[in-house]
Amino acid sequence: MSTPEPDFDDNPYDLLAEDHDEGHRWAFGTGFTDPLEGIDTSVPAGLDAAALARYCLALGDDALIYSHRLQQWVASLPELEEETAVANIALDLLGQARMLLARAGGILGRTEDDLAYFREEKEFGNVRLAEHADRDFAELVVRLLMFSAWRLALFESLSSAADPVLAAIAAKGVNELAYHRDYAAGWVVRLGDGTALSHAKTQAALDALWPLLGELFRPDPDALAAVDPGVFDAVLDTVLAAAGLNRPAAAPLALVGGRAGRDGVHTEAMGYILAELQSVARAHPDATW
């Protein structure tokens, strides 16, 4: 057996700097382009384009910020199976965020990166539930149950929205959100109906997060669909009953001068998320990925 002469000029890292004429990138998943490429993105007659852009941006911000919160959990979860689950849910939401930001950006003349990385906190329209920092796994699954049950109901309604692009993005998201909700509901039942300690922690999570729900049902002049609170409550009550948890009676989190997350008013947590989310792009404003 003869060993071939080593080729010291064959350096795999050279690939990073090479220009590939066939469109392949140096690493899987890089080389981002418009996620709506090839789709007719004209705004239908009769729709207010500015309102549509604001609404898509708000729905995109919900997903972007929530996804970031979930990504922060990765490598800190109790089991490998939960790592893959939470990472997958974060990826689904990031995909929804990219399409929604691209939809808004197409109308506003801005790219998805520009919208994600170069807006100030007061320009983000996500609900405050999305930015909450989960203090433990119970808060993670209770918050995910609330968010995904609400967003699933909303996306079901939006599947027949007047804007065909938003309707298609929503219809695509329905199946994903149904998986997220089932995952979260399964854990809420297991923890709520588990040990005395897991039950106490899950009830505490529910009590702590409850005030953030009120904002989800505020009237929104830009909205192209609304969630029936009765439908949302029915889902939540089914899970709480199976989990042996009590529905809290806490009042909704106060508005600030009549404004909330959709109006760009956020909790203290939001600044820390944006600092982390935006730091690389702001340090290297011309970078591409």
Secondary structure (3-state) at 13: coil
Residues 6+ apart with CB under 8 A from 196: none
Look up residue 200 and give its two tokens.
Answer: 């106490």
Q: Tell me whether residue 35 is exposed, middle or buried, using C-beta atoms within 10 angstroms of its C-beta: 0 to 12, 13 to 18, 19 or more.
A: middle
178 touches other proteins by CB under 8 A: yes
Contact between residue 104 and residue 167 where contact means Cβ atoms under 8 Å apart:
no
Site for other proteins in 157-176 (CB under 8 A): 164-165, 167-169, 171-176
39 binds other proteins (CB under 8 A): yes
Count of positions on this chain that bind other proteins (CB under 8 A): 56
User: Is residue 77 involved in binding other proteins (CB under 8 A)?
Assistant: no
Binding track, positions 88-127, relative to other proteins; x by CB under 8 A: xx-xxxxxx-xx----------------------------
DSSP for 49-110, written as a single string: HHHHHHHHHHHHHHHHHHHHHHHHHTTSSSSHHHHHHHHHHHHHHHHHHHHHHHHHHHHHT-
Taking the complex as a whole, the smallest distance from the CB of residue 262 to other proteins amounts, in Å, to: 22
- At closest approach, how far in Å is the CB of 103 from other proteins? 10
**Contact characters 223-242, other proteins, x per CB under 8 A:** --------x---x--xx--x
Contact residues toward other proteins (CB under 8 A) are: 22-25, 28-33, 35-39, 81, 84-85, 87-89, 91-96, 98-99, 152-153, 156, 164-165, 167-169, 171-176, 178-179, 181-183, 185-186, 189, 231, 235, 238-239, 242
